[in-house]
Amino acid sequence: MGVRDWLNERLRYEAAETFLEKKEVPVHRYAVSYYTGGITLFFFLIQVFTGLLLLMYYRPTSDAAFESVRLIISKVRFGWLIRSVHVWSGNGMVAAVILHLLATFFGRAYRKPRELTWISGVALLAITLAFAFTGYLLPWNTLAYFATQVGTEIAGDVPLVGKALLVLLRGGEDITEATLSRFFGIHVAILPALITLLLGLHLLLVQIHGMSRPISVRVTGSERFFPEFMLRDFIVWVALLGGLAVIATLVPWPLGEKADPLAPAPAGLRPEWYFLFMFQALRMLPARILGLEGEMVGVTLFAIAGVVLLLVPFLDRWAARERSHPLVSILGVVALAFAVVMTALAFLTGL
Amino acid sequence: MIRPRAALLVLLVAVAAGALTLTAGPIPLPVGGRVRAAPASARDSCTNCHDGLGGRLAVPAENIPYDAHTRSELRCAGCHGGDPTRVGMDAHDPAAGFRGKPRYEQIPQFCGRCHGDPAFMRRFNPSLPTDQLARYLTSQHGQRLAKGDLRVAVCISCHGVHPVRPVNEGTSPVFSTNVPATCARCHSDTARMKPYGIPTTQFAEYRESVHGQGLLRRGNRQAPACNDCHGNHGAAPPGVASVANVCAQCHSATRDLFVRSPHKRAFDTLGMAECTVCHGTHNIAFPTDVMLGQEKGSACLQCHPAGTAGLNAAVGMRGSLEEVKGAITQAEGVLKRASSAGMDVTDARLDLDEATSQLIRARAVTHTANPPEVQKVTAVGITAAGRARAAGEAALAELVFRRRGLGVSVAVIAFVAVLLWLKLRELKRTSG
């Protein structure tokens, strides 16, 4: 009995091989959108790998956090590369997950029977943003400190539970070491546990239902998932790895100055690009709307938008009947244009 | 109700007193604050009557809410006597201690009755000194006043009157940032200063000096105003012997270095006023290295002609300074390049800070006029700058290593991508 047979007898991997041999990917003009999920997965794996390495030196206290990151980038062999790749790849993951969501939305890939795949995907988007938000504070530099202050203040505007949510996030009234250790715990334990479960479910559902074919798009054929599509995926991954290496080396992510809670907030303070549209929109709202606090109304509207996004498969009844209704596309374009215009406005006004 | 006859009498007395003041000491008084009616708590028969009199006689009543004394529950009668519970001219009863408005020359004693009494002052502000009158009497102002000169400053000339504002309030004429302008009201007045034969350019010079810029432009209250060098109540020009001590109130380390120099004995022998010989008096400019050496603007050239041992020593010290400055500039350039390329050079910056500290120290040590001593300090600075430069160069070398490593990595990655692509092509070909 050879090793292969011995392993197969115990792992039954032949079943997986058979599954992969049979799995096919539709070929059509928008087939490139199938890579967005794989790209997100690539960035996720990079995050796990680099995050584990950073964990060996990072110390989550207000006294030591900044110095430990400085140690990583200045003294630890290739620490600068690992940290820079982690930050750039984190940004890449947010961008990829947004692209994946858009491809899925406009391709109506959420329609029956993939409702749960969509819901788990939206939850994964939320977790990715939570990863980005909590990770941003960890170097404990000035920008991170004050951006987190602003960000948690927005959470404090959530109606009814805002104050409790703010205290829960910060571990008190203010951003302190309690906030740092809380964010660290969330970033390296709670969110990884959640993402592992949800990503497992998401990938399982993708395997069960296969690749979705966009409505009213002519499918010109199909190709095998293994090895053809997978090889293409790997080529994309390898290209991305090269891109990451280039950007992380030539544009290392700056560390900035150590946070000083007693110092005034620096000028030009703004959240990261993926939260900018929300921040700009809240900023533009009047102080009072219908007698209610403007920001609170804004946060409520964003929360409603989040719920609507989650329920898209159940709201778009046309898609369930294999119909691509223009209203859904128009709403999607309007939402996307809103986010793009608000982000551009924030950049133009020097927020 | 104010009786018309009583009001008329008050008016006549006030006009007579005012005329006396105008002829006695025409020092323009600082402008008071906003005018508004005194609050009910500060009102008594004094304010009730004087408010109704209008014009100059109403000003004290209108301004009393802003007066430092009112805040200590002292009202008009606290200084002027009388009985504020009685109405009209009855309140001006000499039997009730009414002493009215003091004559100009009486003002120091008038204020000193309370401000020179420690037991009395303790009831209101125990931290306030009570030697103002004694010091005033030793000042140029006080001595001239004692000789009958009614043109000199008395208490109200600087502190103002009705209201006398607390010294630590920004609107007080003697608040530190206002002191130069307050002194200048008289000391920049050429007509007023003519009889005394003293210059009137001090304020104009001070305003442009390093001290004036610090205090008046940047609002740095640690920068000295007139009173910090001349004294306030005991105001007098510092004599030749005391100039160094006056400057040493702030520049004590520099004074300690200076007393070790050969200049100290020479200046004492020649009767020269130490610090001011090189730095000037009211026009003290921000000191630059040009002051040392043989360039135009050098202070050394005032006394040491070219080729003398003194000037050679100055040139030697300047050379040491330039050497450390050069080392700092070079290190800064390297660190800047490394930093803009994203390299962490925080530790090297600490060395650079050390070099800069040594440069500052060396500049102070030039007051010893001892070139070897200066060189000893600059050598430490040069070593620190050298460490910073070496760290910067190491960072730049690391940068080159990184970029080479990146080139190799990208080549390997591209090679793998090509292999994968070739494999894909082969698969396509074999599958038909």
Q: Which residue has the higher pLDDT, B233 or B15?
A: B233
Q: What integer is the mean pLDDT of A242-269?
A: 92
Whole-number percent of chain A with pLDDT over 70: 99
Using the predicted structure, report yes or no on whether residue A350 has a pLDDT greater than 80: no
This complex has an ipTM of 0.87
Which of A46, A68, A238 would you mutate first to test chain B, the one with the most B CBs within 10 A?
A238
Closest CA to A154 of A260, A295, A25: A295
pLDDT for residue B42: 53
Residue corresponding to tokens 């209250």: B221
- Do residue B344 and residue A80 have CB atoms under 8 angstroms apart? yes
User: CA-CA distance, B312 to B132, in Å (whole number)?
Assistant: 49
pLDDT for residue A351: 57
Judge whether B346 is closer than 8 Å to chain A, CB to CB: yes
Confidence of residue B117 (pLDDT cuts 50, 70, 90): very high
Which of A230, A246, A249, A253 would you mutate first to test chain B, the one with the most B CBs within 10 A?
A249
Confidence of residue B36 (pLDDT cuts 50, 70, 90): very low
Would A311 be classed as within a structural domain? no
- Do residue B347 and residue A255 have CB atoms under 8 angstroms apart? no
Q: Which residue has the higher pLDDT, A48 or B428?
A: A48
Of A70, A228, A251, the CB nearest to B427: A228
Contact B46, B75 (CB under 8 A): yes
**Residue A293 forms beta bridges with which residues?**
A288
Residue corresponding to tokens 């005018």: B35
| Number of other CB atoms surrounding residue B236 within 10 Å | 15
Which of A231, A240, A255 would you mutate first to test chain B, the one with the most B CBs within 10 A?
A231
Question: Hey, is A145 helix, strand or coil?
Answer: helix
User: CA-CA distance, B397 to B212, in Å (whole number)?
Assistant: 48
User: CA-CA distance, B291 to B318, in Å (whole number)?
Assistant: 9
Would A202 be classed as within a structural domain? yes
Would A102 be classed as within a structural domain? yes
Q: Provide DSSP, B288-317.
A: -GGGSSSSTT-SGGGT--TTSHHHHHHHHH
pLDDT for residue B8: 43
Confidence of residue B264 (pLDDT cuts 50, 70, 90): very high
pLDDT for residue B322: 98
Contacts of B423 in chain A (CB under 8 A): 231
Q: Which residue has the higher pLDDT, B25 or A29?
A: A29
Judge whether B344 is closer than 8 Å to chain A, CB to CB: yes
- Do residue B417 and residue A231 have CB atoms under 8 angstroms apart? no
Buried b (16+ CB within 10 A) or exposed e, B58-79: bbbbbbbbbbbbbeeeebbbeb
Regarding the domain delimited by B309-404, which CATH topology (the fold level of the hierarchy) does it fall under?
Answer: Butyryl-CoA Dehydrogenase, subunit A; domain 3 (1.20.140)
Q: Provide DSSP, B109-173.
A: HHHHHHHT-HHHHHTT-TTS-S-HHHHHHHSHHHHHHHTT-TTS--HHHHH-SSS---TTSTTST
Q: What integer is the mean pLDDT of B151-163?
A: 94
Using the predicted structure, report yes or no on whether residue B115 has a pLDDT greater than 50: yes
- A57: domain range? 18-265
Distance from CA of A73 to the nearest CA of B (A): 7
Q: Which residue has the higher pLDDT, A36 or A226?
A: A36
Q: Taking CB atoms and an 8 Å cut-off, how many pairs form between chains A and B?
A: 52
- Do residue A231 and residue B423 have CB atoms under 8 angstroms apart? yes
Q: Which of the given ranges, A266-280, B79-93, B111-125, B304-318, has the highest pLDDT on average?
A: B304-318
The dihedral formed by the CA atoms of B116, B120, B126 and B127, expressed in degrees to the nearest 10: -20
Judge whether A250 is closer than 8 Å to chain B, CB to CB: yes
Question: Hey, is A288 helix, strand or coil?
Answer: strand
User: CA-CA distance, A86 to A188, in Å (whole number)?
Assistant: 13
User: CA-CA distance, B112 to B212, in Å (whole number)?
Assistant: 32
pLDDT for residue B432: 64
Judge whether B418 is closer than 8 Å to chain A, CB to CB: no
- Do residue B403 and residue A249 have CB atoms under 8 angstroms apart? yes
Which of A234, A257, A258 would you mutate first to test chain B, the one with the most B CBs within 10 A?
A234
DSSP 8-state assignment for residue B82: S
User: CA-CA distance, B168 to A299, in Å (whole number)?
Assistant: 48
Distance from CA of B420 to the nearest CA of A (A): 6
Distance from CA of A244 to the nearest CA of B (A): 10
pLDDT per residue over B213-225, tens digit each?
999 999 999 999 9
pLDDT for residue B1: 38
Distance from CA of B411 to the nearest CA of A (A): 9
Between the two ends of chain B, the Cα-to-Cα distance in Å is 120
DSSP 8-state assignment for residue A223: E
Q: Which residue of A has its CA nearest to B415?
A: A238
The domains of chain B are located at: 1-138, 238-285, 309-404
Q: What integer is the mean pLDDT of B128-135?
A: 93
Distance from CA of B47 to the nearest CA of A (A): 47
Q: What is the mean pLDDT of chain A?
A: 93
Tally of structural domains, chain A? 1
Please report, as a single letter, which amino acid is at residue B122. Answer: R
Residues 6 or more apart whose Cβ sits within 8 Å of residue A306: A126
pLDDT for residue B56: 86
Q: Provide DSSP, B165-224.
A: --TTSTTSTTSTTTHHHHHHHHHT-HHHHGGGT--S-HHHHHHHSHHHIIIIIS--TTS-
Contact B200, B188 (CB under 8 A): yes
Using the predicted structure, report yes or no on whether residue B159 has a pLDDT greater than 60: yes
Judge whether B423 is closer than 8 Å to chain A, CB to CB: yes
User: CA-CA distance, B358 to B321, in Å (whole number)?
Assistant: 10
Contacts of A242 in chain B (CB under 8 A): 409-410, 413-414, 417
Judge whether B411 is closer than 8 Å to chain A, CB to CB: no
pLDDT per residue over A334-346, tens digit each?
999 999 999 999 9
Using the predicted structure, report yes or no on whether residue B171 has a pLDDT greater than 50: yes
Residues 6 or more apart whose Cβ sits within 8 Å of residue A250: B403, B406
Give CA separation, A43 vs A87, B3, B39, B145, in Å.
11, 95, 72, 87
Contacts of B344 in chain A (CB under 8 A): 70, 73-74, 80, 255
Using the predicted structure, report yes or no on whether residue B14 has a pLDDT greater than 50: no
Contacts of B403 in chain A (CB under 8 A): 249-250
Distance from CA of A139 to the nearest CA of B (A): 15
Q: What integer is the mean pLDDT of B133-142?
A: 95
Q: What is the mean pLDDT of chain B?
A: 88
pLDDT for residue B191: 94
Least confident range from A120-124, A177-181, B69-73, B227-231: namely B69-73
pLDDT for residue B22: 35
CATH number at residue A199: 1.20.810.10
DSSP 8-state assignment for residue A24: E
pLDDT per residue over A106-153, tens digit each?
999 999 999 999 999 999 999 999 999 999 999 999 999 999 998 999
Question: Hey, is A141 helix, strand or coil?
Answer: strand
Least confident range from A47-61, B113-127, B378-392: namely B113-127
Closest CA to A179 of A131, A225, A140: A140
Least confident range from A140-154, A227-241, B15-29, B143-157: namely B15-29
- Do residue B342 and residue A254 have CB atoms under 8 angstroms apart? yes
